[in-house]
Structure 1
């Protein structure tokens, strides 16, 4: 029986040849298709080797993700639970494979004694033991870093069970669940799956090994929350899904005023039980907390509970709860950071005038930074403000990098950093950033929507549409996928599809008069007439309520009225529309439109680096 089957694109053959030689040198029996015997049926020989192998290394690259052979082989390996993915460049793995920890060979120089090969060898050893080979050497079972994105262990904290006896306490259960994840995610050598991706497994009938395979992790934390008066108790257990063994279990009990100590202690103990060696820096991040009044912390948790629902009603409730938390504890930095996040969301959704919202984001982020200079949330929010409000590119990048340094496992930072990198034209780096976000939060519709925007900016329209169709299944009623889809359909010349999606978009945005304008414009003057009619209707509505100027400009541009489009681009610049930074590299405007004096003036005025 073959030990290792290697699936790859033939353009990557030089690297595969070196890798296969090294694995053979370690004592493994390796099959790759240079072994095909003349006269043998090509497909049947591959299928035989694939089925007989004990594990399958799939090498992702810009070419292999387009190969039906590689995709079929990877799917079979995934189905049989013997997949080991690696990548040779910044390519994001295809849908269905992003949840797996992917070893990074993008900078590999072909040397056997290297970190990527060492990590690959450890991955292979989970499936089989090598036969004695000339290059075989002992490796440590506990390391501080690994090449799989710098991780030496992978973990998912499943949603905690609410044993408080009250559904009204769900905010507390969800809040402590997220808090434990955030504390663990500050450890650089530990890959921690984000809360959004693990939430889909609440009450799941899947077994723990099946959940672990979906998330691409080796260990899972299960637990529950109980509350009795002012006492809060959290019970947790750490399970190694490979051996189906409970590695550790513990109960933590604290008074409500020490709830921050509770979540920190639980996270620190969980980390100690993994194969990660905590650095002094890790211990420092986990070790110090400032206790706050219980009633303030509860309001903060309620604020986060409502913010994550993202509805207009819940957004307002989030603001109210954060403000109530601050009325009880004015120096509580997380509540200020939470407010900054809500106001930034309101601005991005185009609900309020940027001149009203931007100062609120700035104040809340500045306060959070002043109160806690080591808050990754505060630095992240300052990065968001600097990118979409201040247009301060240098300040934004410094804030992104500091936030990532403080918490390398927070997917949102990587995802929004990818947009920053695309805005300033650093596309290869953007691919790496969004890849990290998807690796940490593979099932989050928002992260995947941001990735679809990235794909649109790279003009990889088919892949973007594939993403967006899946997102719509998971997040029905969301406007963002529709927004991106209409851009793509228009850019591809599929005007009928663009028209239908645009109607659906403005229906979701509750703009019935715009839908009517689209329909009547289509009947009179076709597709372009529909867009002009919608632009004129939005122009009328903008006199009484804020509407994102760039979206109005786009409709006029696509409808053929470049002068009106240019005027609305100028308004977008003056009003500091958060979509204005996308003008240069997004598919909003044609190259001819960008050469218009007003639009070119805005591009120059944005002072891209």
Structure 2
């Protein structure tokens, strides 16, 4: 399939989208900078794609003619005999490109004009890149493979399983408008914690509904909330979030009624394209959220009757249950102590008492129980708590079989808490299929794939998460973990540094960077990073390992002794790592078996942890790999 690189000025993006649709409809593989992954160097990626392309289509416009980037790309194409030119606004190419033929393309407002299209196809064919599909008319726009990936992670899985149904139902296709938007934090009308929770939850629920539409690209919560109380313009926000539309609003309760307003605005033009007035009984809050989301979906994608049911949202129509859920989520996210975690659990259980069919509350109850079981209580109590968590997640799935969060929680408990890869695979895959517009679900799926050694899938999923949540340090840390596990240590460090740039201080930053330097053999940098690490467990583990590498066994043993003295049976996985690096195989295997007995979550790393390489030829080590579900 011939590959076409498109060079253009950003101001002509709407016209470029139309041309991309034409070319892909004719069967070309098209690359333009909307496909640039968040972790890639811009110049490196551009150079790589220029080299890989069969043809370079330069779309000249007034701004393109003044762009140094477009001129440089056109010059590369000219020197490598790949240049095809077209003007989209009548602007002639600048010197020296005006010495070559330039096709004139006229694009109508609705994108269906074919003037100049056939001649452009002829130009490609003349250079040996004939269209695979010999249509001589402008094809209707369709979503590309890469666009599907940007919207939904590993898009090939979704399209392969459900592509025809989405095409026939009108979910893929539509108006040709941009489908990239962000739901901003809603302003609070009135005072008090209840009003604040309501405003927070109102925006979260609308964002969640929109993100479940497979065509839309919806910026995630953390990145959108980064602009709370800031004075950035709509255009500046859109540029940083890589979206074209913003939903803003204010909400509150007055006299038992839900009151407020919202507006969908086009960021670059700072133009309101759809206003919403909110004045309805409080118990209609779910209907209001779904109505706003449905109208936005119809406005941007053309899909009608786009509302979704409780089986997909996991929601409730019980206002008291919803308020309890919001209180629980607020406490869970604060997460300062066992007391706040157990208070969150009590709120989720209260929400379930008020609405026994509240799937989202069951899912969060399961997630909170998993957290409590891992952090608090004795190892002997863990099984009972984790079984409760699994039962809660399964109940969420039973109530709402198309609600992704229930599957995500079940996969998380099966893997991170019970260390059962095979039992986790199906729920993680189902969560991905149903929730691939959700950055959190994509991140967890990517992490699971990375731990299992499926690095290509992991990278695709985490890069999709990054495109949805570009201002969230967590997704870049996940990417760093994936690269570290794959042995790409320099890329891991870059990802950790990107995460720190977004959130400084970043938890465990020095330990993670130190491990990467250690794996590359730079023991000096590794030691300096471990010394700078504040968290006691990482500090002592890192220093013990690097001293062992340096041949300072007494220093390594001293750090290990300090670690064991404080942590007792809480850090068996770290003891395993240090003993392995000291060459003490029997002690390492004993620590490994104890970690398995208490289901130490550190064992999720065992499949591709370079610190455990000295044990990989040992039958006992490989038996445990197989028992967990990793290939031994």
TM-score band by shorter chain is: 0.7 to 0.9
Shift in CA distance, 534/596, structure 1 to aligned 2, threshold 3 Å: farther
1:202 aligns to what?
A: 228
**Counterpart Cα distance in 1 of 2:414 and 2:212:** 23
Could you say what secondary structure the match of 2:53 adopts? helix
2:586 aligns to what?
A: 563
RMSD: 4.0
Asked whether the 8 Å contact 1:174–1:305 carries over to 2, the reply is: no
Could you say what secondary structure the match of 1:443 adopts? coil
Could you say what secondary structure the match of 1:188 adopts? coil
1:379 aligns to what?
A: 407
Shift in CA distance, 309/530, structure 1 to aligned 2, threshold 3 Å: farther
Shift in CA distance, 450/516, structure 1 to aligned 2, threshold 3 Å: closer
2:303 aligns to what?
A: 277
Asked whether the 8 Å contact 1:160–1:174 carries over to 2, the reply is: yes
**Structure 1 residue 604 and structure 2 residue 621: aligned?**
no
**Counterpart Cα distance in 2 of 1:399 and 1:583:** 21
Asked whether the 8 Å contact 1:153–1:190 carries over to 2, the reply is: yes
**Counterpart Cα distance in 2 of 1:598 and 1:265:** 58
Could you say what secondary structure the match of 1:488 adopts? helix
Asked whether the 8 Å contact 1:393–1:608 carries over to 2, the reply is: yes
Asked whether the 8 Å contact 1:567–1:598 carries over to 2, the reply is: no
**What displacement does 1:560 show?**
4.1
1:92 aligns to what?
A: none
Q: CA offsets per residue over residues 34-65 of structure 1, 9 Å max, x none? A: xxxxxxxxxxxxx99842849989x9xxxxxx
Correspondent of 2:206 among 180, 185, 190: 180
Asked whether the 8 Å contact 2:615–2:621 carries over to 1, the reply is: yes
Could you say what secondary structure the match of 1:148 adopts? helix
Could you say what secondary structure the match of 2:402 adopts? coil
Shift in CA distance, 430/352, structure 1 to aligned 2, threshold 3 Å: farther
For 1:403-482, list aligned pairs within 5 A.
403-476=431-504, 478-482=506-510
**What displacement does 1:497 show?**
4.0
**Counterpart Cα distance in 2 of 1:390 and 1:517:** 26
Shift in CA distance, 346/535, structure 1 to aligned 2, threshold 3 Å: farther
Moved more, 354-363 or 434-443: 354-363
Shift in CA distance, 306/529, structure 1 to aligned 2, threshold 3 Å: farther
**Counterpart Cα distance in 2 of 1:364 and 1:231:** 33
Correspondent of 1:307 among 332, 344, 364: 332
**What displacement does 1:231 show?**
1.8
**What displacement does 1:552 show?**
2.3
**What displacement does 1:168 show?**
5.0
Asked whether the 8 Å contact 1:264–1:286 carries over to 2, the reply is: no
Correspondent of 1:4 among 5, 8, 22: 8
**Counterpart Cα distance in 1 of 2:616 and 2:198:** 50
For 1:138-149, list aligned pairs within 5 A.
138=138, 140=140, 147-149=146-148
Correspondent of 2:570 among 503, 527, 547: 547
**Structure 1 residue 51 and structure 2 residue 88: aligned?**
no
1:223 aligns to what?
A: 249
**Structure 1 residue 362 and structure 2 residue 405: aligned?**
no
**Counterpart Cα distance in 1 of 2:357 and 2:186:** 29
1:17 aligns to what?
A: 54
Moved more, 330-339 or 210-219: 330-339
- Please report the TM-score for the alignment, with normalisation by the length of structure 1: 0.73
2:515 aligns to what?
A: 487
Report how many aligned residue pairs link the two structures.
Answer: 512
- Please report the TM-score for the alignment, with normalisation by the length of structure 2: 0.71
Q: CA offsets per residue over residues 434-480 of structure 1, 9 Å max, x none? A: 11111111222222211110010122222222222332344345534
1:41 aligns to what?
A: none
**Structure 1 residue 582 and structure 2 residue 605: aligned?**
yes
Asked whether the 8 Å contact 1:261–1:289 carries over to 2, the reply is: no
**Counterpart Cα distance in 2 of 1:333 and 1:147:** 33
**What displacement does 1:430 show?**
1.6
1:116 aligns to what?
A: none
Could you say what secondary structure the match of 2:611 adopts? coil
**What displacement does 1:184 show?**
0.7
For 1:476-555, list aligned pairs within 5 A.
476=504, 478-505=506-533, 507-508=534-535, 528-543=553-568, 547-555=570-578
Shift in CA distance, 573/125, structure 1 to aligned 2, threshold 3 Å: farther
Shift in CA distance, 385/301, structure 1 to aligned 2, threshold 3 Å: same
**Structure 1 residue 572 and structure 2 residue 595: aligned?**
yes
Shift in CA distance, 298/285, structure 1 to aligned 2, threshold 3 Å: closer
Moved more, 451-460 or 150-159: 150-159
**What displacement does 1:238 show?**
0.6
Shift in CA distance, 276/380, structure 1 to aligned 2, threshold 3 Å: farther
Gap regions ≥5 residues in structure 2: 1-5, 10-31, 33-42, 77-105, 122-135, 152-177
**Counterpart Cα distance in 1 of 2:396 and 2:529:** 40
1:235 aligns to what?
A: 261
**Counterpart Cα distance in 1 of 2:298 and 2:553:** 62
